[in-house]
Amino acid sequence: MKKINLYTIAITCLALAVSCESDDKVIDDVLETFTSGAVLRTIDSDGSFDMFRTENTFSINIEEQDETNGELIDRVDITVDFVDNNTELADDSTLGVAFATLAASDFTINDRGLPAADFAYTMEEALATLGVDIESVLPGDRIAINLELFFTDGRSFKAADAATTVTGGSFFASPFAYTLLIDDGIEFDYEVNTSDEIDLSEGAINEDYEVSISIDDDSDGSLLQTLNIYRTFRDLTIGEDAVDLSEDEALFETFEIADLSLEEGAKVLELDYSLADLLGDDVVITDLSVGDDIQLRYEIITVDGRIVTTDENDTEYFYSVITSECVQLNADAPFAGEYTVNLTDLYGDGWDGAFIAVSIDGGEEQIFTIETGETSTGTFTVPEGATSLVVTYTNGLWEDEHVYEIIDPNGQKAAIGGPFERDNSAPAVAREVELKVCE
């Protein structure tokens, strides 16, 4: 066994020796033929562009590193691109236009002992160099600068020459190019105050579609002219009769932005559409099935005629009202948990004798009303195992001022009511309020 082991060891050592000699030769060959490169490392970058403020600046601080620590730097040439990503009418893209040069003298030795330089430019300077009018710039377009480093020995380095580990790696961080996406420069805030679903279940509560919109161009709305709202109905559940009730996109409503209220520098708008408004003249709720939807697209036209919008659901200017069907959690027994009762008097002087009463398992009634003022909020709790829950609304005077909502333990509206028809001569009658708790 010892002889075999010694033989095996001898053979292994011989193989390793040959291998090592081969590897050394490869390394020698690489060292003899390899020419090192250079990187322009990003130390810092800052700035952004939008379609209005051409004075905005983008700046970079770059650091050069090569085998001579900068002694071979001749210059850095900078070109600029405009990439038109809104080409429905025309493609105004312009690429590779000479923009600026950093000479070797523009580099100074930084605290890392390497040559570094700064470069900054405004959007106005870039567009002027490119020959692109500001009216041609839309959100989603891009402005890019491309850097190419030249050595005194004639070699040059740019993004196309560098590996991914150089351009995108965390150590080298040397992209040789910087691209800025043009923003619309508008804060468009959209808040649905009621619900963005149409409940198709029997006895469903479908409120008006109420929305608060805030439009802030950082110039009190002076850069914007018109807000257009477009509506589309999509019949995505065509029945056995194969009739497609879908309706193509059409202008639904339009507003002059100058006519909107100004609050804290933003133009604001409150929208209130009934279910009939959303469905239009040719569609009724019985035509709907779960899966159909209504799409609302918002379009802003600027004073200089540019159009700002999106065409994908749940993006900044595009929203959907969907259809659903409640899976009722309280169909057989009360749903346990805490409920919130929110009361409002539209005139602000109390509920004039009206009230809501809540009784659990035949127990003492809990009363909710507004004695005076505009609003009141209270809660009641349904315990586990409760077998009955009775909620009633009793009318008072000035019924056209009274509004209520009851929020279930899941945070959804289980019931709403009001304002009602006014009849100050009508007797007070307790009417049951149906609560609907959905998944």
First to last CA, the chain: 77
Residue 424 falls within a domain, yes or no?
A: yes
Question: Per the structure block, which two tokens stand in for 306?
Answer: 């540019």
Q: Say yes or no: 264 and 310 in one domain.
A: yes
Q: Say yes or no: 425 and 295 in one domain.
A: no
Residue 33 falls within a domain, yes or no?
A: no
The model carries a pTM of: 0.75
Residue 391 sits in a domain whose CATH number is: 2.60.40
Residue 10 falls within a domain, yes or no?
A: no
Q: Say yes or no: 302 and 403 in one domain.
A: no
Q: Say yes or no: 176 and 103 in one domain.
A: yes
Q: Say yes or no: 161 and 283 in one domain.
A: no
CA distance linking residue 319 with residue 294, whole number of Å? 9
Q: Say yes or no: 143 and 57 in one domain.
A: yes
The per-residue pLDDT string of the chain (439 residues; one tens digit each, 9 = 90 and over) reads: 333 343 333 434 434 444 444 444 433 443 343 345 789 999 999 999 999 999 999 999 999 999 898 999 999 999 999 999 998 878 999 999 999 999 999 999 999 999 999 999 999 999 999 999 999 999 999 999 999 999 999 999 998 875 443 444 444 467 899 999 999 999 999 999 999 999 999 878 788 999 999 999 999 999 999 999 999 999 999 877 788 999 999 999 999 999 999 999 999 999 999 999 999 999 999 999 999 999 999 999 999 999 999 988 888 999 999 999 988 999 899 999 999 999 999 999 999 999 999 999 999 999 999 999 999 999 999 999 999 999 999 999 999 999 999 999 999 899 999 999 999 999 999 999 999 999 8
Q: Say yes or no: 359 and 392 in one domain.
A: yes
pLDDT for 205 equals 79
CA distance linking residue 152 with residue 155, whole number of Å? 7
Q: Say yes or no: 91 and 169 in one domain.
A: yes
β-sheet bridge partners, residue 432: 392
186 DSSP 8-state letter: -
Residue 401 falls within a domain, yes or no?
A: yes
Q: Say yes or no: 349 and 424 in one domain.
A: yes
Last residue of a domain, one of 166, 181, 196: 181
pLDDT for 10 equals 41
Domain hosting 151: range is: 39-181
Q: Say yes or no: 59 and 130 in one domain.
A: yes
Last residue of a domain, one of 324, 352, 385: 324
Q: Say yes or no: 155 and 122 in one domain.
A: yes
Residue 14 falls within a domain, yes or no?
A: no
CA distance linking residue 439 with residue 434, whole number of Å? 16
Query: Taking a C-beta distance cutoff of 8 angstroms, is the pair 71, 115 a contact?
Result: no
Give, in degrees to the nearest 5, the angle at Cα 31 between 25 and 35.
Answer: 150
Q: Say yes or no: 142 and 215 in one domain.
A: no
**AA identity, residue 150:** F
Residue 27 falls within a domain, yes or no?
A: no
Residue 20 falls within a domain, yes or no?
A: no
DSSP string, 285-328: GGG--BTBEEEEEEEEEETTS-EE---STTBTTEEEEEEE---B
Q: What is the CA radius of gyration of the chain?
A: 35
Domain count, the chain: 3
Residue 149: which of 107, 97, 120 has the closest Cα? Answer: 107
Residue 217 sits in a domain whose CATH number is: 2.60.40.10
Q: How many residues does the chain have?
A: 439
Last residue of a domain, one of 181, 212, 227: 181
Residue 191 falls within a domain, yes or no?
A: yes
Residue 101 sits in a domain whose CATH number is: 2.60.40.1940
